[in-house]
A and B are shown apart, each in its own frame.
Chain A
Amino acid sequence: MAGDRAASTDPDALSWYEATARQRVVALADPGSFREVLPPTERRMSPHLPLFDLPRAFDDGIVVGRATLDGSPILIAAQEGRFMGGAFGEVHGAKLVGLLRAALELKPKAVLILFDTGGVRLQEANAGETAIAETMRAIVDVRAAGIPVVGLIGGRAGCYGGGGLIAGTCSRLAVSEGGRISVSGPEVIETNKGAEEFDSRDRALVWRTMGGKHRRLTGGADAFCADTVSAFRHAALDLIDQAPSFDLETLEAEQARLESRIARFGDCRDATDLWRRLGVNDPETVPAMDTDAFAATVARIREADHDAR
């Protein structure tokens, strides 16, 4: 199948941030195990983009299929952040929803979603918004069936808009330093609230507010990995095993976790204030920490790990 041949690259050396969706899938899964559903040769492209005189992609910016991970069957979806910002259109969303629904029958060990998205594709916004809602509902069904859904976030588009909402419904999330998770993106906040509220060109501000380290320290993400495909593979394997059961107890624990977070940190004006209150001794040094130093910091923070979500 086309996706298998897109790249043969060493997972230890391949940067997650730089890789395409296809390269990530092929290098993440067991070698040669990926089988794509609706591959590019099927030409399931957006019916809407030609109306706007915009180019289409043969896979509508998402690669979906089945594979094995350490010998266990999984389903996997990867968004291509460079095609229209990885945004959800009608076909793109339907491929993800279809994959999740297939999980109910195929009963894989897990479903992996490799997020790389700015949210909904504005040219097909109604279909995209519907896809976001259907995806969240499908994830809930898959988790209720006892199958973990693990999100991996480290691409150049980050995980924004409806993608951020979907990420919030996953069993577990892994993120790298380059990854960002939020709903409203920096430019959206600046446009609505002004540059005094949030300067979208201040990259340090963007990363400490939405970036992987901040999400990991607050327990928004459950693993922080180096920017390689093999690091994400290891994180995915760990998180599949640690996925919480999906029941009332877990949801109540999540509600309690979020309530306590807003009570403890709701008045913080900057992420560094929040990190200090979390117990990080020297919060200004966090952005420059390498992966090992950051892991040591995370290990001292009580809120970073939890049984909720």
Chain B
Amino acid sequence: MESLTFRHTTKKPLAGSLPNAITGVVASGNLEILLERVLPPDACEIAIETPIAGYGDVWEAVVADFVARAQPGGLRISINDGGARPDTVSLRLLQGARLMEA
């Protein structure tokens, strides 16, 4: 297993007040994403556990793109990966942010 953690500073907090949400399932080509509103409003931390080692650069790029698009300030995001492709990861992250905004 490979553990990756990325920390970002955002321009604004994510809208909404939901304390947490989860989306996705740990299955082949899929992943689960747990989002918790527990950090300062301009901080976002994304921690990933993946059985597929060696793709740190790809994760970093996908996460940076998500942070730029969603501005998920205040969120600690925890990922259990089942070998998802980058596009699936990206969609799940945006889906998770949308759930938290509800």
Contacts and interface: CB of A to CB of B under 8 A. Distances in A.
B62 interface: no
Contact of A55 (B18, B22, B23, B80): B80
A1 B22 CA distance: 10
A57 B26 contact: yes
Chain B interface size, under 10 / 10 to 19 / 20 to 34 / 35 or more: 20 to 34
Interface residues of A, number: 19
B34 A40 contact: yes
A309 interface: no
Contacts of A53: 1, 51
Interface stretch (A2-10, A98-106, A300-308): A2-10
A56 B80 contact: yes
Nearest to B30: A82
A90 interface: no
Contacts of A5: 18, 20-22, 99, 102
B102 A58 contact: no
A129 interface: no
Nearest to B28: A82
A6 B18 CA distance: 12
A40 B26 contact: no
A55 B3 CA distance: 11
Contacts of B51: 53-55
Given A20-B25, A83-B26, A83-B27, A58 B32 contact: yes
A83 B25 contact: yes
A82 B1 CA distance: 20
A157 B43 CA distance: 40
Interface hub of B26, B49, B102 (most chain A Cβ within 10 A) = B26
Interface string A65-106: 000000000000000101100000000000000000000000
A3 B80 contact: no
B42 interface: no
A101 B49 CA distance: 33
Given A40-B34, A50-B1, A53-B1, 4 more contacts: A2-B20, A5-B102, A54-B1, A83-B26
Interface of B: 1, 18, 20-23, 25-27, 30, 32, 34, 36, 49-51, 78, 80-82, 99, 102
